[in-house]
């Protein structure tokens, strides 16, 4: 397995691309690069999997019953004052 | 319209306030509550923080411009409330401030991505608790950027406004946060025997 000559830069680029904050040019450059760079291709898959993991496995807590109601009540108090 | 003064033009009527709250503010309560909970790790505290945020939103509604990102505006208030009113009295041991954390992590190898032996298949069997713990054990400042970006889908510029930091800092903090998260996940993967012990 060969190393990537510029792995650190590629990783930064990958992050920005997955965050959807990149440019089409940078994206093209990156995807052309990972076609021929095994470590970067692996990093790409891993990073994507981690993002997916975070989104799918971290559960949301349900909002407690009556929270909006109690906020509305408090707001009403301010309005009356 | 033009003759109206700035303040008059912005003023919300009571009916408009109610409308803004119902249409633009309350739909975010789920995200807000979960953000609050992930900051405080306490259901009652999270509730208080959310309620506080909405009351402030009501008080300062004149500074909210219709048509702008209500969610980002609310998150900013919540985060400020957490820092100003909450962090002081919270049970969490006092944390070093942003600057210190930033320079500490800038100094070392943490900025460099840990290219781990973590593998995609090792993530498949990871439990929700483990992933949650991997996130929750991060320092609050790092936890926050992961929540905002990866869970709530905020853009860098929105995060910059929510956190009152430059976009460059958002990016570097995110990068470090993700490195640390990876490292935490790696620990779980290791206990499951997925990564070879080195
Ligand atoms: Zn490469």
pLDDT digits (tens, 9 = 90+) for A6-16: 888 999 999 99
> Is A64 in Cβ contact with B26 (below 8 Å)?
no
| Residue of chain A whose alpha carbon sits nearest to that of B13 | A79
> Is B178 in Cβ contact with A61 (below 8 Å)?
no
DSSP letters, B10-24, are: HPPPHHHHHHHIIII
- When CB atoms are compared, the residue of B58, B131, B178 closest to A15 is B178
Chain A interface includes B55 (CB < 8 A): yes
Q: Please tell me whether residue B43 adopts helix, strand or coil conformation.
A: helix
The pLDDT score that the predictor gives to residue B154 is 97
> Is A75 in Cβ contact with B55 (below 8 Å)?
yes
Give the mean pLDDT of B95-116: 51
- When CB atoms are compared, the residue of A11, A19, A70 closest to B51 is A70
> What is the separation, in whole angstroms, between the first and last Cα of chain A?
72
Domains of chain B: 12-89 (1.10.1740.10), 99-192 (1.10.10.10)
Ligand 1 centroid, distance to B131 Cα (angstroms): 28
For residue B98, pLDDT over 80 is answered with no
CB A70, CB A63: distance < 8 Å: no
Give the mean pLDDT of B178-197: 77
Q: What is the 3-state secondary structure (H, E, C) of chain A?
A: CCCCCCHHHHHHHHHHHHCCCCCHHHHHHHHHHHHHCHHHHHHHHHHHHHHHHHHHHCCCCCCCCCHHHHHHHHHHHHHHC
> Is A50 in Cβ contact with B47 (below 8 Å)?
no
The pLDDT score that the predictor gives to residue B11 is 76
For residue A23, pLDDT over 70 is answered with yes
DSSP B41: -
Q: Domain segments of chain A: what residues?
A: 7-80
CB B184, CB B117: distance < 8 Å: no
pLDDT digits (tens, 9 = 90+) for B114-145: 555 678 888 888 888 899 999 999 999 999 99
Q: Which two tokens stand for residue B82?
A: 């957490």
């Amino acid at each position: 397995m060969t190393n990537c000559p510029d792995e650190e830069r590629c990783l930064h680029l990958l992050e920005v691309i997955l965050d959807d904050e990149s440019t089409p040019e940078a994206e093209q450059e990156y995807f052309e690069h990972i076609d021929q760079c095994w470590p970067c291709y692996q990093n790409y898959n891993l990073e994507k999997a981690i993002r997916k993991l975070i989104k799918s496995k971290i559960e949301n807590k349900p909002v407690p019953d009556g929270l909006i109601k109690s906020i509305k009540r408090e707001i009403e108090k301010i309005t009356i004052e | 319209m033009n003759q109206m003064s700035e303040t008059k033009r912005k003023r919300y009527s009571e009916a408009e306030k109610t409308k803004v709250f119902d249409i633009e503010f309350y739909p975010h309560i789920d995200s807000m509550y979960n953000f609050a909970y992930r900051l405080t790790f306490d259901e009652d505290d999270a509730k208080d923080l959310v309620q506080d945020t909405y009351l402030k939103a009501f008080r300062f509604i004149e500074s909210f411009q219709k048509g702008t990102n209500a969610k980002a505006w609310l998150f900013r208030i919540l985060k400020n409330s957490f820092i100003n009113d909450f962090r002081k009295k919270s049970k969490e041991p006092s944390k070093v401030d942003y600057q210190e954390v930033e320079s500490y992590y800038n100094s070392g190898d943490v900025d460099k991505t840990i290219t781990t032996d973590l593998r995609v298949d090792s993530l498949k069997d990871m439990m929700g608790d483990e992933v949650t713990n991997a996130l929750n054990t991060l320092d609050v400042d790092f936890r926050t950027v992961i929540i905002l970006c990866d869970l709530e889908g905020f853009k860098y510029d929105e995060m910059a406004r929510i956190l009152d930091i430059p976009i460059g800092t958002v990016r570097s903090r995110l990068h470090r946060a993700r490195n640390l998260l990876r490292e935490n996940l790696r620990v779980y993967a290791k206990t499951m025997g997925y990564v070879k012990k080195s």
